[in-house]
Structure 1
Amino acid sequence: MNEHLDALTPTLVWQHFRTLCNTPRPSGHEAQLVELLEAWAETQGMTHDRDAFGNLRLCKSATPGYEHVPGLILQGHLDMVAQANAGHAHDFQRDPIATYVADGWLHAEGTTLGADNGLGVAAILALLEDPELTHGPLEALFTLEEETSMGGALHLAENWLEGERLLNLDSEDHGEVFIGCAGGADVVVNAQLPSAALRDDECLLRLSLTGLKGGHSGLDIHQPLGNANRLLVRVLRSLEDVDARLLSYQGGTLRNAIPREAFADIALPVDEQQEALAIVKELTQTLQRELGSGDEGMRLVAEPISPSGDVEPLTLDASTMLVAALHAAPCGVERMSADVPGVVETSNNLGVVSLDKGRFHLCALVRSLHDSAVVAMADRFKALFGLIGARVNVEHGYPGWVPNPDGDLLKRFKACHQSLLGKQPAVKVIHAGLECGILGSKYPHLDMLSFGPTIRGAHSPDERVELATVDEFWGLLRALVEDLAHNS
């Protein structure tokens, strides 16, 4: 499948990306790909090993005469975000990703593309295979479960890697190089809330909020995008005037993707149904005006549904308190950086919210350039949801990556960028959880930077990569590896 990728250039990169598209690899299910890469490494005469977590390392000896060059680690993550459009049947554990080219961009048919971080991985494999590349000792480090928990990096074995420099190929803006990133943590809220049977004078309405663009909860958090959970909770808040009781809720699927859809079933007095429908209609127009062209596809629908089996919405008090807590919860950009202009300092994404049979669950992702700010915002969640008796845990915390603008690796990268592309790169700090922060905490001696081709819509079915930037990204990566070999 995806034979058309073989016709793209650079050939080696796209051939390896085709393999990645054809090999299912959602987070937590990378085993098939790991085994395939180990078998491939053996055909190339490279050694390979895994650490206790399952992270994979492939090692290639230096070009003869370059054994003295400091070791270089090439790093990417094997897993991809598994998101499909509503109504698009796709089994991410079995089905390959179907791709197509349109207007100079590579897309997937109805799903995430996996260019994040598949193109970085493909470029690393292409470097290892390139017979004409001059290089020092190379280590390819492929981590697992980056998209769900940073698990691979967090559990990376210490005293395992040997290189002195590291290139992370998990950035998404060609022409930019990243030297720092935000840290973060998951805030997980759970509660069992009281419910009461549906009364004879009550009916049910289903609310569906769909059509939002979604996006990466770090890279896109400052964009004028709607968060489906934030918006539907606002609708629920307005329906408290008609004594609506929340029966069920499902919004978002990943804590690191801005939710595109949210659905809720509510119970309300029969004689208030028409008033509720009027409120939703008016609020639909209000939200569409507010979102404007930033998320013009938003659709909000309310429709009566029939009860099925035993129906027990939350009590009115429990429903009111839950909706109030969600309405007050931090969401979006909290603060811009005072030290790095134009960069988000602290944010939160209300990523996954659910309610079923009184069981409430929330998973939010807090990010900040300051680890202390992550702790502070997580504590706000504890304080807020503690008021409704919920249990709040902070999980999968990971440190940020402190910028080093004077690093030798950055100087070499800038020189190569100027020589090859005729201009200096933009040096950036990213509001996303690059694994560099965690890797640097385990291997503090590493000189690191991150760069990549232009990817848009990561973590959503709109994910796409600009083909021309892949060619330039490959040329720059190759030139940098050779420069490090010749000038060390």
Structure 2
Amino acid sequence: MSKEILSLEPKAIWENFYSLTQIPRPSKHEDAIQDFMMKFGQDLGLETIKDAVGNIIIKKPATPGYEDRQGVVLQGHLDMVPQKNADTVHDFEKDPITAIIDGEWVTADGTTLGADNGMGVAAAMAVLQATDIEHGPVEALFTADEETGMTGAFGLQNDVLDGNILLNMDSEDEGELYVGCAGGIDANVSMKYKEEKLEKGYVAYKLYMKGLKGGHSGMEIILGRGNSNKLLFRFMKYATKNFKLKLASVDGGSLRNAIPRESFAVVAVPEKYNEKFLAAIAEFEATYKAELSAVEPDLAFFAEATDVPKKVFKKKSQKNLINAIYACPNGVIRMSDDMPGLVETSLNLARVYSENGVITIQALIRSSVNSAKEDLAQMVSSTFEMVGGKVKLEGEYPGWKPNMESPILKTMQTVYNDKYGKIPEIKAIHAGLECGLLGAVYPNWDMISFGPTIRFPHSPDEKVKIDTVAKFYDFLIETLKNVPVKEAVEA
């Protein structure tokens, strides 16, 4: 079915995007896509570089008559978020993505599509291939491992690129220009737990919290979707108190930058509480559905009988874990005072799992205000340190402060208005665009982020709106044609 997207226009983008869907490229497994991009640039006869951290840089000279224009860096990331529905059989390290046309959208068959950031990469590839568009010097920067650590942006050296303008093509609303983004920091928690033998007289169940939408922990945190970890532990606190629940294992969420959609736990309860326990699960499911009816219509919370575990958490270990997860902040913490409707600070309690006597908790903290980011990080640290957890705050990256006097912003506003009859909206984004890190390496860069309309990235519902791809690409081409000359900037 993937090949049906080859019929879409503009073919220059869709053919490249199809090629990207055929190459497995989950974060941390990018050798194949990096090799592909190296060959792509070399086959075009262009200077092509792979740096020490896996970034691919391809340089294309100016077209005749445009040699005096500012150099432009077209930037996107090569990796994609690997998320799939529970009933979908797919190996992201081996299998291609099956892209399908669904009305006005292109989506995938039960997996993430990789339009984030495959569309931006495909657009840059089309510019590099083109022989019929006018532009000044162009450099394409394809970064590595954006989704799980921004490894490429962190490792970029300050002497490999010559351009003055960065066009990041990793935002997800056509007709909007992004001039700022949130910074972030990873909270990694480890807690040791002790086990004991489970006495006789217990029945065991596997708890399932499923059917949630999940999604991008920056872009869609504002939607108030359910967090499967928080919902599961909410029930387990109640069941521990009322039914003497014993926890044997837990496995909740998947990726740090994806709102958790599914969480599971193996638990045991005394046989005498069996019926009340099952009734409570049904009651909690009804409560969750009532609370989240507008955003989680497919929520499901249920239990299936399973083998009685030989060991369970000791009482103190279980109490500490449940209380800490229950108490940990999650979701939108504060809205921006400067830009109405924009989330300023948030936390995604992404991953909770037990293995070999250790509980691992992973969270992603985002904020456009550095002091607020640090405050929330310390709040998380305090929560888990009180119960003996070890907390590491890692991978911090800066936000991108808006520059409303940006020359390329003014150029792009004019170009868009001339082409489409309206001024594009100017926004900041509550997500970790690489612009903050890249701007720290190249502080002279004038930066804008834009892209086609993409919905539900980082989830199997991810989709890109077909007609916005053409508008996005046409806008890119016209922008390159109208980039300011070097003298205008130097003056």
Considering the TM-score relative to the shorter chain, is it more than 0.5?
Answer: yes
Query: 1:204: how far off?
Result: 1.5
Q: Which residue of 2 aligns with 1:285?
A: 286
Q: Which residue of 1 aligns with 2:100?
A: 100
Query: 1:358: how far off?
Result: 3.1
Letter in 2 for 1:204: A
User: Is 2:448 the partner of 1:432?
Assistant: no
For 1:372 and 1:336, locate their aligned partners in 2 and report how far apart those are by CA, in whole Å: 15
* 8 A contact 1:417–1:423 mirrored in 2: yes
Mapping of 1:443-458 within 5 angstroms? 443-458=442-457
Mapping of 1:331-342 within 5 angstroms? 331-342=330-341
* 8 A contact 1:66–1:485 mirrored in 2: no
Query: 1:203: how far off?
Result: 2.4
Query: 1:378: how far off?
Result: 1.2
Q: Which residue of 2 aligns with 1:9?
A: 9
Q: Which residue of 2 aligns with 1:467?
A: 466
Letter in 2 for 1:73: V
Query: 1:485: how far off?
Result: 6.2
For 1:397 and 1:66, locate their aligned partners in 2 and report how far apart those are by CA, in whole Å: 39
For 1:296 and 1:425, locate their aligned partners in 2 and report how far apart those are by CA, in whole Å: 33
Q: Is there any run of 5+ residues in structure 1 with no aligned partner, and where?
A: none
Letter in 2 for 1:17: F
User: Is 2:86 the partner of 1:86?
Assistant: yes
Query: 1:356: how far off?
Result: 2.8
Q: Which residue of 2 aligns with 1:250?
A: 251
Q: Which residue of 1 aligns with 2:422?
A: 423
* 8 A contact 1:172–1:454 mirrored in 2: yes
Q: Which moved more, 1:14-23 or 1:191-200?
A: 191-200
For 2:305 and 2:39, locate their aligned partners in 1 and report how far apart those are by CA, in whole Å: 56
Mapping of 1:86-485 within 5 angstroms? 86-240=86-240, 241-307=242-308, 311-484=310-483
For 1:206 and 1:182, locate their aligned partners in 2 and report how far apart those are by CA, in whole Å: 38
Query: 1:357: how far off?
Result: 4.2
The DSSP-based 3-state class of the residue aligned with 2:196 is: coil
Query: 1:56: how far off?
Result: 0.7
Q: Which moved more, 1:163-172 or 1:25-34?
A: 25-34
For 2:195 and 2:376, locate their aligned partners in 1 and report how far apart those are by CA, in whole Å: 30
For 2:283 and 2:39, locate their aligned partners in 1 and report how far apart those are by CA, in whole Å: 60
Q: CA-to-partner distance for each residue in 1:28-51, whole Å, 9 max, x for gaps?
A: 111111111221212212101122
Query: 1:199: how far off?
Result: 0.8
Q: CA-to-partner distance for each residue in 1:95-141, whole Å, 9 max, x for gaps?
A: 11011101110010110000000000000000111111111111000
Query: 1:486: how far off?
Result: 7.1
For 1:230 and 1:427, locate their aligned partners in 2 and report how far apart those are by CA, in whole Å: 34
The DSSP-based 3-state class of the residue aligned with 1:80 is: coil
Question: Alignment RMSD, CA only?
Answer: 1.3
For 1:483 and 1:329, locate their aligned partners in 2 and report how far apart those are by CA, in whole Å: 49
Q: Which residue of 1 aligns with 2:23?
A: 23
Letter in 2 for 1:255: R
For 1:14 and 1:142, locate their aligned partners in 2 and report how far apart those are by CA, in whole Å: 18
Q: Which moved more, 1:255-264 or 1:152-161?
A: 152-161
Q: Which residue of 2 aligns with 1:46?
A: 46
* 8 A contact 1:239–1:276 mirrored in 2: yes
Query: 1:389: how far off?
Result: 0.9
For 2:214 and 2:244, locate their aligned partners in 1 and report how far apart those are by CA, in whole Å: 31
For 1:317 and 1:238, locate their aligned partners in 2 and report how far apart those are by CA, in whole Å: 16
For 2:246 and 2:160, locate their aligned partners in 1 and report how far apart those are by CA, in whole Å: 55
Q: Which moved more, 1:453-462 or 1:222-231?
A: 222-231
Query: 1:317: how far off?
Result: 2.2
Taking a change above 3 Å as real, the CA distance of residues 357 and 39 of structure 1, as seen in their structure-2 partners, is closer
Give TM-score scaled by structure 2 length: 0.97
For 1:29 and 1:424, locate their aligned partners in 2 and report how far apart those are by CA, in whole Å: 40
For 2:161 and 2:354, locate their aligned partners in 1 and report how far apart those are by CA, in whole Å: 44
For 1:11 and 1:19, locate their aligned partners in 2 and report how far apart those are by CA, in whole Å: 12
For 2:52 and 2:71, locate their aligned partners in 1 and report how far apart those are by CA, in whole Å: 23
Give TM-score scaled by structure 1 length: 0.97
The DSSP-based 3-state class of the residue aligned with 1:166 is: strand
For 2:236 and 2:322, locate their aligned partners in 1 and report how far apart those are by CA, in whole Å: 7
Query: 1:339: how far off?
Result: 1.2
Q: Which moved more, 1:196-205 or 1:415-424?
A: 196-205
Letter in 2 for 1:286: T
Query: 1:175: how far off?
Result: 1.1
Query: 1:176: how far off?
Result: 0.8
* 8 A contact 2:68–2:485 mirrored in 1: no
For 2:60 and 2:484, locate their aligned partners in 1 and report how far apart those are by CA, in whole Å: 14
For 1:393 and 1:131, locate their aligned partners in 2 and report how far apart those are by CA, in whole Å: 50
The DSSP-based 3-state class of the residue aligned with 1:478 is: helix
Q: CA-to-partner distance for each residue in 1:309-353, whole Å, 9 max, x for gaps?
A: xx2211122212210110010100000011111110000001111
Q: Is there any run of 5+ residues in structure 2 with no aligned partner, and where?
A: none
The DSSP-based 3-state class of the residue aligned with 1:260 is: coil
For 1:200 and 1:359, locate their aligned partners in 2 and report how far apart those are by CA, in whole Å: 25
Q: Which segments of structure 1 move beyond 4 Å, counting only runs of 4 or more?
A: 485-488
Q: Which residue of 2 aligns with 1:67?
A: 67
* 8 A contact 1:314–1:358 mirrored in 2: no
**Aligned residue pair count:** 486
The DSSP-based 3-state class of the residue aligned with 2:312 is: coil
For 2:74 and 2:430, locate their aligned partners in 1 and report how far apart those are by CA, in whole Å: 22
Q: CA-to-partner distance for each residue in 1:451-487, whole Å, 9 max, x for gaps?
A: 0000001000000000000010011011000111679
